[in-house]
Amino acid sequence: MTKSRPSVLPYLLSLTVATTGLPAFADNTTPPTRNPGTGTRPNQPPHPTTPTAPTTPTAPTTPTAPTTPTPTTPPAPPAVNTAPATAAGDQDGTAAGAREANERAPGDGRADGQSEGHDKGFEQCRKEAADHAHDDGFREGYQSGQTDGATDGTNKGAADGQVAGQNEGTADGISRADTDSLNNSAEPGRQQGIQQANASDAVSRGQTDGQASGDQDARAAAANQDYPRGRTDYRNSRYNEPVSSQDAFNNKSPVSVASSGITGALVAMLKLSKLTAFLAPRDQVSRRAQGPDGRYNTITKTYSTAAEQTAYNQAFSAAYGRGFKDTYDRVYDQAYQPAFREGSDQGCDQARHQDYREDFDHGRQEGRERGYNEAYKTNYDANFRAVHDATFRSSSDAAYQANYQADYNRHFEDARVGGYNAQYKALYDSAFSQAHDSTYASKYPGYAAAAYQQGQNDEAADFAARPVRMVGASPTETIVNGVFEPGEELRVKITLRNFASGDLKAQDLKVRLEALDASSAVITTAEESLAQSLKGKSVTDVSEALSFHMNENAVNQAKSFKATVIYQGRNCGEQVFQLTTQWMLDLQLAEAVQLHQGLQSSIKVRVHNQATTTTDANTSVALNLPPTLVNVLQATAQVGALASGADKIVEFPVIDIASGNDVLLEVAATATLGSGRRVGALDSQQDVTITNDYRLSVGGEVSALRNPGVVRVRYSVQNANSSLLLKSLQLKATFTGPNASNFVVIGPNPQFLSPLTLGETTTFEVPVLVKGSNSGGTLILQLSEDGRSVLNNQTQF
């Protein structure tokens, strides 16, 4: 929590300075003097260690320090014995105070006793009378309620019992009829169903369906198992044939390893309240005195010396209050007690004559409710049960008779159907299974042999039409350093096998490349013919085929590609391969970015060589940050020759120019070799907390600085993190931009600010004289803590 300092000073303490050589305050033009030798002021009382010797007051002593200022007050008066005057004042004051007390206390005590006694007596008797009236009403109401409750309970119980007995009895009869009929019909119904099933066509239908199913399954098994087996066996036999020649050639010229230059792109309450309201005013008007009114605090005695008069006056005044209190309390209490008793009796008598009809009625209502409820429940329960039981049995029997036969018929039919279906299924399944199995066993061998042979024939025809197969495909580099870099030209090494006896002409053979994730790469040569023919019965490695390069969005991800070989326009087989793209140099932030507003800090980037080769001596990393947030003092850092697998941390000095607590910072860095080839990149979004010991914010209409006149730029400084105490702050205001000379700070610059404790905020202003209209510029407020730069705030206007 922060708040601005109060703008008005609450206190001013003045100082008195009694020495020379020390600057005195301007308004203390007459410094007080002191007693030479003792340092006490002339009118000060004696030293505390000698209070029991009033007859020997401290005498002024001779000055011993001639360099001290000369006293400017008159010499002290001669000593006077004031003890008798003090004693007389004490005695007279005590008597005068007692006199006032004797006049006031009897009246005050009687009035307070009468008032408070009346209140207490009234309340006590009022409560007793109210309770008595309530109890009388309760008894009368209870008897009345009992009579009415008994009558109502009897009538209502009988009526409810009749209805409940009928409903419950009927339900009971229906339920019994259903249960009994079910039990009696189940078995006869089921037996009838079984007999009907035995006489049906279940067996003959099972046999017919089983035979058809067996034949169908045999055909399917041959097609699904034996046909592909035939093709596979044939294919394997071809692959097992001996290879007559093992050849290799490059489909195009290899790229030089040294090539470079590839570049890419992220309720009781009511009573209480009434009572309180009644008593409250009386409580507040107690007449018990809090102190004397001083009616007799008048000095009549006079003395010849001022000291004696002062002593008498002071003693008289002090004794007056004491005399008053001692007498007042005693006399007040004596008058209070009898008045209290008298007031209590009067209050009680008054209470007894009040009207308590409301309490009686309230009690009567409570009594009637209780009597009625008790009688009603007892009579209701007794009559309900008697009538209910008598009605229940007859209703149950009638419902049973009415429902039994219909229930029986329904349950019998259900049992019959169930028995029929179960028996039919058993007979059918048995016949089906036997017919299916025998048919399958007899038909399958013939179907299998035929399917196998067909498979062999078809595969042989396919080899004749497509005599070449791709047996391998993998990516290859053009910059041989062990990493597939984004932007680097990559090629494919393909292995082809010619199963034909004769040569296959180069112009009839093509290879094709497709990226399964089209966004991951750019295929520069998607299809091309072979450069050479394939010899008969040969296996040939074709290198430097096709051409593509990976995009930067695929870095550190595995991506798939499909290579296909085509012979005379027919697809002769394909291979899918994967590759993972990496930068030669991996760039990562070495530590969380920390920024301090207006102050220099550094951003560290760790460079790791992932390649199998060493970088060249001119390898460097360039940092790019949003210029509106951070000023990068040196954007490029040299990495130099970095061996394979080695790490190096490079630092970039930066100054935060953003204000506020947090910023979302886009950090981008690029690594390049001496040749200019980009070999590493970093693109990171960092949520950075700007940490400064102090925070500074500029408020108000800063844009007013564009217009001529005096503009007061308000600013607030808060100590956010500094725990150093008593360190003054210095704030310097400057302007930059083409109009800088147009602004003049009025008053001291830098301004000196008092120390701020942790969390404390101060608000002040920088008055600026703007000489003329202008197109704006930048106001820079640089804050230092005892010389240590802690913040540099820039405000555009």
Helix (H) or strand (E) holding 311: helix 306-352
Q: Give whichever of 181 and 718 is closer to another protein, judged by the CB atom.
A: 718
**Which of these ranges, 21-29, 93-101, 456-464, 538-546, lies near another protein under the rule CB under 8 A?**
21-29
Measured from the CB atom, the residue of 39 and 77 that comes closer to another protein is: 39
For another protein, which is the closer residue by CB, 468 or 783?
Answer: 783
Sign of CA dihedral 490, 495, 500, 503: positive
State the nearest-atom distance from the C-beta of 41 to another protein, in Å.
Answer: 9
Report the residue number, 12 or 53, with the smaller CB distance to another protein: 12
For residues 767 and 751, the answer to whether their CB atoms sit within 8 Å is no
* Contact call for residues 688 and 626 (beta carbons, < 8 A): no
Phi and psi angles of residue 89, each rounded to the nearest 5 degrees, phi first: -65, -40
Among 358, 464, 769, 772, binds another protein (CB under 8 A): 769
Instruction: Determine the angle formed by the axes of helices 357-465 and 202-221, rounding to 10 degrees.
Output: 60
Q: How far is the CB of 118 from another protein (least distance, A)?
A: 45
User: How far apart are the C-alpha atoms of 785 and 726, rounded to whole Å?
Assistant: 10
Shortest distance (Å) from residue 596 CB to another protein: 20
- Scan residues 654-713 and list those touching another protein (CB under 8 A): 710, 712
Indicate whether 782 belongs to the interface with another protein (CB under 8 A). no
Q: How far is CA 721 from CA 342, 687, 718, in A?
A: 74, 20, 9
Helix-helix angle 357-465:83-198, to 10 degrees: 50
767 binds another protein (CB under 8 A): yes
Among 708, 759, 771, 772, binds another protein (CB under 8 A): 759
**Cβ at position 715, least distance to another protein in Å:** 11
Q: How far is the CB of 133 from another protein (least distance, A)?
A: 59
Q: Which residue in 1, 199, 270, 277 binds another protein (CB under 8 A)?
A: 1
**What 3-state DSSP class applies to 68?**
coil
* φ, ψ (nearest 5 deg) of residue 134: -60, -45
Interatomic CA distance for residues 489 and 525, integer angstroms: 11
Rounded Cα–Cα distance for residues 758 and 736 (Å): 32
Burial 46-55 (b: 16+ CB within 10 A, else e): eeeeeeeeee
Tracing tokens 């037996």 back to the chain, one arrives at: 191
Select 175 or 697, whichever has its Cβ closest to another protein.
697
User: Which residue's CB is nearer to another protein, number 597 or number 719?
Assistant: 719
Query: In the complex with another protein, which residue's Cβ is closer, 26 or 265?
Result: 26
Within 13 Å of residue 650, how many CA atoms lie on the same side as its CB? 23
Nearer to another protein (CB atom), residue 528 or residue 765: 765
DSSP 8-state symbol, 553: G
Q: How far is the CB of 58 from another protein (least distance, A)?
A: 18
Decide: helix, strand or coil at residue 487: coil
Residue 757 interacts with another protein (CB under 8 A): yes or no: yes
By C-beta, is 327 or 718 nearer to another protein? 718
The reply to whether 266 sits near another protein by the rule CB under 8 A is: no
Alpha-carbon dihedral sign for residues 780, 781, 785, 786 = positive
Minimum Å gap between C-beta 321 and another protein is: 24
Bridging pattern class, strands 538-550 and 521-525: antiparallel
**Residue among 573, 765, 778, 789 that touches another protein (CB under 8 A):** 765
The helix-helix angle for 227-239 and 357-465 (nearest 10°) equals 50
**C-alpha–C-alpha distance, residues 370 and 417, integer Å:** 65
Give the contact letters, 25-64, x = binds to another protein (CB under 8 A), - = no: xxxx-----x----x-------------------------
The answer to whether the CB of 720 falls within 8 A of the CB of 771 is: no
State the nearest-atom distance from the C-beta of 21 to another protein, in Å.
7
Among 478, 739, 784, 793, binds another protein (CB under 8 A): 784
Contacts with another protein in 321-350 (CB under 8 A)? none
Shortest distance, CB of residue 66 to another protein, whole angstroms? 12
CA 757-762-767 angle, 5° bins: 145
From the list 762, 792, 793, 794, which residue makes contact with another protein (rule: CB under 8 A)? 762
Amino acid at 554: A
Beta 558-567 vs 509-515: how paired, if at all? Answer: antiparallel
Asked whether position 726 contacts another protein by CB under 8 A, the answer is: yes
Q: Which is nearer to another protein, 524 or 754 (CB)?
A: 754
Lay out the site mask for another protein across 702-721 (x = CB under 8 A, - = otherwise): --------x-x---------
66 binds another protein (CB under 8 A): no
Residues that bind another protein (CB under 8 A): 1-28, 34, 39, 65, 710, 712, 725-730, 746-748, 751-755, 757-765, 767, 769, 784, 786-787
